[in-house]
Amino acid sequence: MPRDLTETVTVPRALGADPLSVWPASARPAPGGDVAVGGVSLAEAADRFGTPLYVLDEAEVRARCRGYLAAFPDADVVYAAKAFLCRAVARWVREEGLGLDVCSAGELELAVTSGFPAERIVLHGNAKTPEDLRAAVRLGVGRIVIDSPAEIARIATLVRPGDRQAVMLRVVPGVVAGGHQSVRTGGEGQKFGLSLTDGSAQHAVDRVLGQPGLELVGLHCHIGSQIATVKPYLAAVRRLVGLLARIRDQHGVALPQLDIGGGHAVAYRPGEPALDVPTLAARVRAELADGCAGNGLPVPRLTVEPGRAVIGPAGVALYRVLSIKHGGGRTMVAVDGGMGDNPRPALYGVRYAPLLVGRASTARPVPVDVVGRYCEAGDILAEDVALPEDLRPGDLLAVPVAGAYHLSMAAAYNMVGRPPVVGVADGTARLLVRRESLADLSLRDVG
């Protein structure tokens, strides 16, 4: 989307490509070095709600939901709630026609009490607790993804006589993909799913089909996260179609659904690659149709589970600069947040492109490390990034692509409460999740 750059507006400085290219489409430079998202000044939002602060662009979330539905018109698009979930996000994705993928009774209860239809919800997870399974069966989720042999009997005992619970089997297709070793979930030797190689998946099929209270509706896989190319998905589809054919040959059952998960990459910094969703959709559909035709199978209904690609680029995190240190040949800019609200740099070594917002600067960009306030040497939000040389305490830094896996993995380390979330749309900012207070933390300590 073209951006309105006028002579009266100073664009925040950064090296390389358009610094706003990875921001929400609504992001616009504003006078005085500010940036507006959803028609809301980030500097004003920081003053009103305090920092750290997460700003979520409702229009961006909705547009990305619609983009997936347009790319996959004959499929089920299911939002992966683990990326970030609150009541407002559940409402947005429900209203846009997506389903919801949850991993716990907590996510499930929040969704259902927010008005999300249980039949449009998928539950998965490698180690579901008895509470998770009881809640899923009690509330009537559309599908439960079985991840281990032990879950087969556990789910079956929860189903009332005469009822049937739709289930899928999570299969390990032996396809390794993803932006970091910790998020590559399609290969052997990790905790998720049932292996094709050692026969675990085929054995689980036999057991599920023998349970009258379970209805095996399809196969599921999730090969990893932050995947920027289509090829790994095609390889996974080929292997799962092969298993579908074997199930048909051995049991006379043609499973009607195939879930290929999510993991679609987004660009965190200008110039980085992102997965082309329309290309993914076209090539996966073609691969699935060809594979099924070659095996004499009906084409199953496809399910995809985007999470990061829906919510990630819609979020912007705001921090205040607290101090600046020079030493050891490095400049360290300390801010009032860090790994407590965004553990991803420490976990995965991810890179961001923070910008100075709220004041104009003509100073030259210099390399700095943006570090957090928490008592860990690894609390580095952004390493070796270009920011103006005249940066000073009190300045406001904005980190784009902050919607996914920041607050969903946040913690109250050092007894610092988690930041609030503000939704912006049409020039209005609305508090969605309030800041976690010391009183909130103290209430849990009953000793």
Which of 165, 73, 58 shows the shortest CA–CA distance to 119?
165
Tally of residues, the chain: 447
Based on the number of CB atoms within 10 Å of its own CB, is 140 exposed (0-12), middle (13-18) or buried (19 or more)?
A: middle
C-beta separation of 67 from 77 below 8 A? no
* 103 classed as catalytic: no
Distance CA(269)–CA(351), nearest Å, equals 7
Residue type, position 411, single letter: A
Tell me the C-alpha to C-alpha distance, in Å, between residue 303 and each of 62, 68, 130, 164: 19, 11, 26, 21
Residue 165, CB-side half-sphere exposure with 13 Å CA sphere: 34
Count other Cβ atoms within 10 Å, centred on residue 391: 20
Distance CA(254)–CA(292), nearest Å, equals 11
Distance spanning both ends of the chain, measured CA to CA: 55
C-beta separation of 325 from 368 below 8 A? no
Q: Prior bond to 52 cis, omega within 30?
A: yes
Which of 416, 409, 352, 421 shows the shortest CA–CA distance to 380?
352
Which one of 103, 221, 292, 375 is the catalytic residue? 375
Radius of gyration of the chain (CA): 23
Distance CA(316)–CA(204), nearest Å, equals 43
Distance CA(104)–CA(82), nearest Å, equals 9
Distance CA(39)–CA(430), nearest Å, equals 12
Which of 227, 232, 237, 223 shows the shortest CA–CA distance to 285?
237
**Bridge partner residues of 321 (DSSP):** 335
- The pair phi, psi for residue 61, each rounded to 5°, is -60, -50
CA 72, 73, 75, 80 torsion-angle sign: positive
Catalogue the active-site residues.
375
